[in-house]
Structure 1
């Protein structure tokens, strides 16, 4: 009978792994800048210390829009 609580704990742990992962992306709500420019809602990669793995960087493709990256910084 101890196997069932253990199995439940293991399943809970593995279901939480995507939330703990550094990679991935998130949704950004639309917002208005200080200069009154409206920015449409979009997806962005999660923040890390690497610029080359972002959707806008050359060699990467945004899976939501299909656009290829153009930035080289």
Structure 2
């Protein structure tokens, strides 16, 4: 079956498709920091163990943003 993504029906007032939601700069920075922490934990975790990661997070104030 073929799906035509350009066949979106226009809105009743003729504006077209709804706008895509965008992240603010602060939300984008927070998301990138979270991804960075998760990658770091994934790399260091197997070597350090979960207790060391929990201690580092406790020292850093659990990264509450």
TM-score by length of 1: 0.28
Higher helix share: 2
Larger Rg: 2
TM-score by length of 2: 0.31
Higher strand share: 1
- Which gives a bigger RCO, structure 1 or 2 (Cα 8 Å, sep 6+)? 1
